[in-house]
Amino acid sequence: MKPSFRTSSYRFSFAFLGGSLRMVNAWLLLRAGCGALVWAFAALAVGQTPAIAQASGKAAPAAKPAPPPDVIVFTNGDQLTGKFLRSVPGSAVFHSDIAGDITVGWDKVKEIRSTSKFVVLQKGLHPGRKGLPSQLPEGSLAMEQKQIELTPNPGTQPLQIPLASVDYVIDQPTFERQLRQQPGFFTAWTGSATAGATVVEATQDTYTFNGAIALARVAPWVPWLTPRNRTLIGFQASYGKITEPDTPTEETAIYHAYAERDEYFSPRFYALGQVTFDHNYSQSLDLQQVYGGGLGWTAVKRQKQTLDLRATVQYEGQSFIDATPGENQSLIGSTFAVSYVLKLPKGAIFNQQLAYLPAWNNMHAYSGSETGMLVLPIYKRLGFSVGTIDTYLNDPPVTTPPTKPNSFQFTFGATYTLPPPK
């Protein structure tokens, strides 16, 4: 009896389904095998597994061992492990994960051992001077019995230097970056930028804007090394306007720009060249330009405060607004200036500059200025600042109403401090 069409259809369907399942199983097995091959090739690309390496007769590469920590031993027998950072005149600086950075006098140190490379600068070889010798003592360091021992390379004869003749011990990367390389023009700058404004709209509309930029770059820029040179650039501006219908507009504009370059020939003394430009609408001063050079002395150099004294000889040109013949002047004079910086608790900074400018060919044409600013930190590098700008011009031109010789400003605003160079 012939099977019905329905029965044949069922058999055909089961046969087709069984074949499909076998094909799916084969595909899954093939995919799993390919995946295993991919992982195996990836393992070979990264590195041979121990079993494969052992079968091929090659040893697996061993991880490079970490260098041993540096050790400092004190004269009382105590010791710390960590990293020897540097030596400055009279003391050593050591970092410990437990104690942090500590500074200790050499008279309290019995022994130091470090595998890092260091460079030694002996006394009389100031880092601030140009033209350091191309070859300086360097190598891994050990200090014992008041002798520094440098080993240039493993197996080489160590060089011994009496500790009493050593000024600086500097790690090799810092030495190359700070003393061998000159920073690019756009690198290693520190300083701050300040801006403030007042707007009043009423019967009288009043607009007042003030701002300042002060930039400094010292090479080398780490504070524990003697500076080689210093560059100062700055600009201060204050502008105000009062408008009222049917009345003349009243304006005030005071601008000050300066640049200075210092070249150190000892840790505290330096030669300098400077240029300044001043405009003060309130004193009828269109432009006062000063070009001069002289000497400077860092009288106080501490962690919390610095005090600089400067004296220059200069050319000074004064031109006034709507000047009559004979009012504009060309002067030969000097600048005697004081700069003071004080670091206060909680990150606050006080900065003040005083300057007196006598004229030797016209003793009546002297001037002076004072600027001060207190910056109080608010959030990270953003702070609130208050300051004063006081200028005095002894010989303003004759005007109606009379021009006052003194101009005083009280400013406030927001200040952003640039991060220190790395």
Q: Kindly write down the DSSP assignment for every residue of 235-286, as one continuous string.
A: EEEEEEEEE-TTSPPEEEEEEEEEEEEEEESSSSEEEEEEEEEEEEGGGTEE
Q: Is 402 exposed, middle or buried (0-12, 13-18, 19+ CB in 10 A)?
A: exposed
**Are residues 159 and 197 both part of a single domain?**
no
For Cα atoms 46, 51, 52, give the angle at the middle one, nearest 5 degrees.
55
Amino acid letter, residue 291: Y
Ranges of beta strands (E only) in 172-221 are 190-200, 205-219
* Residue 183 DSSP SS3: coil
Q: Which of 146, 180, 214 is the last residue of a domain?
A: 180
Does 208 share its domain with 240? Answer: yes
Instruction: Judge whether 130 lies within some domain.
Output: yes
Domain presence at residue 40: no
In a domain, 25, yes or no: no
CA dihedral 243, 373, 236, 365 (to 10 degrees): 90
384 and 352 assigned to the same domain: yes
**Pair (200, 157) in one structural domain:** no
**408: in domain:** yes
Q: Is 263 domain-assigned?
A: yes
Same domain, residue pair 92 and 223? no
Is the residue at 355 inside a domain?
yes
- Cβ neighbour number for residue 116 with a 10 Å cutoff: 15
Separation of alpha carbons 142 and 162, rounded Å: 12
SS3 label, residue 11: helix
So what's the pLDDT on residue 63?
64
Instruction: Check whether residue 279 and residue 301 sit in a common domain.
Output: yes
Instruction: Choose the final residue of a domain: 150, 180, 210.
Output: 180
Q: Which domain holds residue 343?
A: 190-417
Token pair for 285: 């001063």
Structure confidence at residue 52 (pLDDT):
43
**Omega before 69 cis (within 30°)?**
no
In sequence order, what E strands does 145-204 have? 147-151, 159-162, 166-171, 190-200
Both 234 and 374 in one domain: the answer is yes
Average pLDDT of adjacent 10-residue blocks, the chain of 422 residues: 38 39 44 44 41 50 76 93 93 92 94 94 70 84 92 87 92 89 83 92 89 93 87 94 88 93 92 96 92 97 93 96 86 97 94 96 94 94 93 86 86 92 80
Q: How many CA atoms lie within 13 A of 190 on its CB side?
A: 13
The rounded radius of gyration (Å) of the Cα atoms in the chain is 37
The predicted structure's pLDDT at residue 257: 96
The pLDDT of residue 53: 42
Residues 144 and 213 in one domain: no
First to last CA, the chain: 98
DSSP string of 277-327, one letter each residue: EEEEGGGTEEEEEEEEEEEEEEEEE-SSEEEEEEEEEEEEEEEETTPPTTT
Last residue of a domain, one of 136, 161, 180: 180
CA dist., res. 49 & res. 55, Å (int): 10
Instruction: Tell me, yes or no, whether 232 and 154 share the same domain.
Output: no
Same domain, 151 and 289: no
Whether 59 maps to a domain, the answer reads no
Q: For strand 190-200 and strand 147-151, is the pairing parallel, antiparallel, or unpaired?
A: unpaired
| Domain-embedded: residue 46 | no
Q: How many domains does the chain have?
A: 2
Per-residue pLDDT tens for 44-98?
344 444 444 454 455 556 666 778 899 999 999 999 999 999 999 889 999 998 8
pTM value?
0.74
Phi then psi dihedrals of residue 342, to 5 deg:
-130, 125
Please work out, in degrees rounded to the nearest 5, the angle formed at the alpha carbon of residue 355 by the alpha carbons of 349 and 356.
160
- Cβ count within 10 A of residue 283: 24
Q: What angle do CA 269, 275, 278 make, to 5 degrees?
A: 130
- The rounded distance, in Å, linking the Cα atoms of 414 and 380 is 13
| Residues 224 and 367 both lie in one domain | yes
**What three-state secondary structure class fits 97?**
coil
Residues 141 and 250 in one domain: no
- Between CA 144 and CA 117 the distance in angstroms is 17
